[in-house]
Amino acid sequence: MTRFEELLSEYSKDLDIKECDMKTEGLYGDNCIWINKKQTQTRKVCILAEEIGHHKLTVGNILDQSDLSNAKQEHKARKWAYKKLIPFSSILDALKNGHIEPYEMADYIGVDERFLRECLVYYGFL
C-alpha cells in the first residue's frame, strides 16, 4: 500500500477525498479534499497531507495568501503535513540507512523532494 493509499484509508471516514483534473495541486473545503490527479504519487501524498492539515487546523477561505492571517493558517497546515509524513525519526532513519542526499531521503521516505527540502528547512537542517 502506498503512503497516499494509507492516508486515504486513514481519513476517508471523515473526509470526501477525490482526484480530478484541476489547475491547482489540491483544495480543501467543507470536509472535501480535491487532489489534482495528474501529479506523481509522491506529490499527491504531500498535497493530501497538507489538505488534511487544513481540515484539522484552519478555518474559512484562506485562498488570498497576501493576507497575513491566511498565510499563517497555510503555514500551520503545512507544518502538520511535515510532522505527519516526515517525523524527525524518519529523517534519522534515512540517514542511518545511508540516504544522505535529499533526493535519496525523499525516495526512502516516500515523499517528493521539494516537500522533503521544505521540511528539512522547517526542522532546521537546511
How many domains does the structure of the chain reveal? 1
What's residue 1's pLDDT? 86
**Which amino acid is it at 124?**
G
At 111, list the grid cell.
Answer: 515523499
Residues in contact with 40: Cβ distance below 8 Å, sequence separation at least 6, in sequence order: 112
pLDDT digits over 40-54, tens only?
999 999 999 999 999
Q: Give the CATH number, domain containing residue 35.
A: 1.10.10
Question: Domain range holding 119?
Answer: 3-123
Chain-centre distance for alpha carbon 42: 9
In the block, which residue shows the cell 483534473? 21
What's residue 124's pLDDT? 93
Identify the residue with better confidence: 67 or 94. Answer: 94
Identify the residue with better confidence: 48 or 69. Answer: 48
pTM strictly above 0.75: yes
